[in-house]
Amino acid sequence: MIPKRTFDAVIIGGGGAGLRAALQMAQADLKVAVISKVFPTRSHTVSAQGGITAALGNVSDDDWHWHMYDTVKGSDYLGDQDAIEFMCRNAPTAVYELEHMGLPFSRLDNGKIYQRPFGGQSQNFGGEQAVRTCAAADRTGHALLHTLYQRNIAARTQFFEEFFALDLIRDEEGYVLGVSALEIETGQPWLFEARVTLLATGGGARIFRHSTNAHINSGDGLGMILRAGLPLEDMEFWQFHPTGIPEIGSLITEGVRGEGGYLLNKDNERFMLRYAPNAHDLASRDVVSRAIAQEILAGRGCGPHGDFVYLKIDHIGADKIKSRLPGIRELSMQFAGVDPCEAPIPVTPTAHYMMGGIPTNLHAQVVTPERYGPEEAVPGLYAVGECACVSVHGANRLGGNSLLDLVVFGRAAGNHAIEYLRENTIPRPLPADASDLATGRLARWDKAKGNERVPKLRAEMQRILQEHCGVYRREDLLKEGIEKLGQVEARLQDAVIEDRSKMFNTARLEALELENLLPIARATLVSALARTESRGAHSREDYPKRDDDQWLRHTLYSRENDQLDYKPVRLKPLTVETFQPKERTY
């Protein structure tokens, strides 16, 4: 057996979700380890720009019930309404808590937290635009992550940075007892034994070729779940953000449209007035992305290839741009060669966010599918953040709701885990084969022979997903995508890593990441093929209508034989009345 370290709780991921959960437990004097493959403050949370949504009512009248309504509608009624109520009701407290921890929010003249309008936000259940997203300029995620990191240092959370988690350790009765991980600098494998294991590994939008996500967002937690024989929920739902910089993928925050920016086609037309007569450029993201895709298809795209549209913001004035959107100006100048104070920014829909993920309950416990009887929690295992699917975002996430999801459910997970640890004081023995899966995978790559290369296979997978499972989907395209992906999977058997050095084994990490990305790509294609309707971010050309009779349910994908199970959407909230599904217009 490989060497072992023991903690009360091990948290995999040092982004906003992992750090919020870790803080809750460390402040309860538990022995908490955070494992992160990059230095924690480099996690993708750092690049969140626009903000975190909570009905504080600092700028417009507001109410958490309205936030809840908008989130349910934004989710195209696929979100679970008990979870959405829990999140929206707790949002103001979660934001004040961050403020008291020292998060440097931008301020209004009266000293209150600055808020900006974001897509899909309304007052009075579908009325006037609400102003609900709390921001620290356009670097909210940066401020949030650094605040939480400092608080964890003060609470004596132990950090294992540049450790790559490999696989969950599960005993015969199904208890999760920790994780195996590779120390990147030395190549040494370790076991982290703990009574609580929490996955907070972030998103996986790197299955697509054009993505706003960091290269590290390879959905590792999802790969671990599938290898542990557990399912993934709603993997057909990926959000394409309307405004990424073409080819490069860098995100131009929705906050630009919140501050008054709007989209133009090659005829200089504000086309969103046509697609969303009320909300215009601040319609929900799926709606805006489809509108852009249609403009491009109709030959009204800009540039020599007609493959993007323009986002105009110079009319709000250089001073406002420099104070409210300094980071965006920098990004735009560096990656699009455009100063938004003077000219419009070229933008195109870009893969951005994973609505699906590891199925959890309101306490962030990972749950098994109903096929095994009533939904049951996997003892000792939690998931929080973008890797989890609780599901508050349903078929389409509203901007600013992800940072909120991280802190609300991070805290809830921490609280539940504290109770679980009180009730489960005696560590269960590790199974004899605890490290086998991990050492087997490492040995396979060390001994690999063949002619295929990992970066090439990854690029092919990304192209397949981009072409066969983009903003619009169709049965023949999806089937062909699954077939092509199968070929890439088969070629993985003949892949070798180029750099066999054990000291600086980044090439080995890329191979291990591809072993996580490929099954996520498959889960996405298979789930997208099964869902014969259009809902939220999942748009089927061949099934353009939403079908509530058949599809008001979540998809559960298991790796064995690509099996699909389903579970109904939880329409009943905790204390208020259900928002009944109705047609969704903006």
User: In the complex with ligand FAD, which residue's Cβ is closer, 341 or 407?
Assistant: 407
Q: Kindly state the number of chain residues that form the binding site for ligand FAD, as judged by CB under 6 A.
A: 46
Contact 350, 249 (CB under 8 A): yes
- In 3-state terms, what secondary structure has residue 529? helix
Residue 353 is a binding residue for ligand FAD (CB under 6 A): yes
Residue 15 is a binding residue for ligand FAD (CB under 6 A): yes
In the complex, least distance from residue 35 CB atom to ligand FAD, rounded to whole angstroms:
5
For strands 365-367 and 115-116, give the pairing: unpaired
In the complex, least distance from residue 317 CB atom to ligand FAD, rounded to whole angstroms:
23
CA-CA distance, 451 to 446, in Å (whole number)?
Answer: 15
Contact 216, 29 (CB under 8 A): no
Catalytic residue among 89, 151, 285, 397: 285
In the complex, least distance from residue 186 CB atom to ligand FAD, rounded to whole angstroms:
15
Query: Per-residue x/- marks for ligand FAD, 44-63, CB under 6 A?
Result: xx-xxxxxx-----------
Query: Per-residue x/- marks for ligand FAD, 272-311, CB under 6 A?
Result: ----------------------------------------
Contacts of 67 by beta carbon, 8 Å cutoff, 6+ apart: 53, 54, 55, 88, 91, 121, 130, 132
Among 38-46, 226-234, 341-349, 449-457, which window interacts with ligand FAD (CB under 6 A)? Answer: 38-46
User: In the complex with ligand FAD, which residue's Cβ is closer, 44 or 540?
Assistant: 44
Please give the structure tokens belonging to residue 172: 């015969």
Query: Per-residue x/- marks for ligand FAD, 462-501, CB under 6 A?
Result: ----------------------------------------
User: In the complex with ligand FAD, which residue's Cβ is closer, 323 or 550?
Assistant: 323
Among 37-45, 273-281, 421-429, 563-571, which window interacts with ligand FAD (CB under 6 A)? Answer: 37-45
Applying CB under 6 A, which of residues 9, 10, 14, 477 lies at the interface with ligand FAD? 14
CA neighbor of 14 nearest in space, from 207, 220, 191, 190:
220
In the complex, least distance from residue 578 CB atom to ligand FAD, rounded to whole angstroms:
25
Among 2-10, 40-48, 450-458, 547-555, which window interacts with ligand FAD (CB under 6 A)? Answer: 40-48
In the complex, least distance from residue 400 CB atom to ligand FAD, rounded to whole angstroms:
5
In the complex, least distance from residue 566 CB atom to ligand FAD, rounded to whole angstroms:
25
CA-CA distance, 581 to 583, in Å (whole number)?
Answer: 7
CA-CA distance, 503 to 244, in Å (whole number)?
Answer: 36
Please give the structure tokens belonging to residue 29: 């004097």
Of residues 85-124, those binding ligand FAD (CB under 6 A) = none
In the complex, least distance from residue 260 CB atom to ligand FAD, rounded to whole angstroms:
17
- At 64, the amino acid letter reads W
User: In the complex with ligand FAD, which residue's Cβ is closer, 240 or 551?
Assistant: 240
> How many whole angstroms from its chain centre is CA 83?
17
Contact 485, 526 (CB under 8 A): no
CA neighbor of 143 nearest in space, from 407, 538, 524:
407
The strand pairing partners of 519, in sequence order, are none
User: In the complex with ligand FAD, which residue's Cβ is closer, 362 or 477?
Assistant: 362
In the complex, least distance from residue 257 CB atom to ligand FAD, rounded to whole angstroms:
13
Residue 71 is a binding residue for ligand FAD (CB under 6 A): no
- In 3-state terms, what secondary structure has residue 33? strand
Residue length of the chain: 586
User: In the complex with ligand FAD, which residue's Cβ is closer, 17 or 495?
Assistant: 17
Applying CB under 6 A, which of residues 38, 316, 448, 576 lies at the interface with ligand FAD? 38
Applying CB under 6 A, which of residues 403, 492, 497, 514 lies at the interface with ligand FAD? 403
Applying CB under 6 A, which of residues 167, 220, 234, 533 lies at the interface with ligand FAD? 220
User: In the complex with ligand FAD, which residue's Cβ is closer, 280 or 441?
Assistant: 441
Contact 204, 197 (CB under 8 A): no
Catalytic residue at 206?
A: no
CA-CA distance, 148 to 465, in Å (whole number)?
Answer: 35
- In 3-state terms, what secondary structure has residue 543? strand
For 503, other C-beta atoms within 10 Å of its C-beta total 9
CA-CA distance, 325 to 6, in Å (whole number)?
Answer: 45
> How many whole angstroms from its chain centre is CA 264?
28
Any idea of the CA torsion for 327, 102, 260, 328, to the nearest 10 degrees?
10
User: In the complex with ligand FAD, which residue's Cβ is closer, 94 or 485?
Assistant: 94
Applying CB under 6 A, which of residues 189, 246, 379, 400 lies at the interface with ligand FAD? 400
Applying CB under 6 A, which of residues 71, 180, 239, 402 lies at the interface with ligand FAD? 402
In the complex, least distance from residue 529 CB atom to ligand FAD, rounded to whole angstroms:
26
Contact 289, 241 (CB under 8 A): yes
Of residues 248-267, those binding ligand FAD (CB under 6 A) = 251, 253
Whole-angstrom Cα Rg for the chain: 23
How many Cα atoms occupy the beta-carbon half-sphere of 79 within 13 Å?
Answer: 32
Residue 576 is a binding residue for ligand FAD (CB under 6 A): no
Alpha helices by DSSP H, listed for 199-351, are 220-227, 255-258, 272-275, 285-297, 318-324, 326-331
Applying CB under 6 A, which of residues 103, 200, 517, 523 lies at the interface with ligand FAD? 200
Among 119-127, 214-222, 427-435, 460-468, which window interacts with ligand FAD (CB under 6 A)? Answer: 214-222
- At 548, the amino acid letter reads D
Contact 248, 331 (CB under 8 A): no
Applying CB under 6 A, which of residues 359, 385, 414, 519 lies at the interface with ligand FAD? 385
In the complex, least distance from residue 113 CB atom to ligand FAD, rounded to whole angstroms:
15
Contacts of 432 by beta carbon, 8 Å cutoff, 6+ apart: none
- DSSP structural state of residue 452: E
Contacts of 37 by beta carbon, 8 Å cutoff, 6+ apart: 162, 163, 164, 165, 184, 216, 220, 509
Residue 43 is a binding residue for ligand FAD (CB under 6 A): yes
Binding residues vs ligand FAD (CB under 6 A): 12-18, 35-38, 40, 43-45, 47-52, 140-141, 164-165, 200-203, 212-213, 216-217, 220, 251, 253, 353, 385-387, 399-403, 406
Question: Which residues participate in catalysis according to the annotation?
Answer: 285
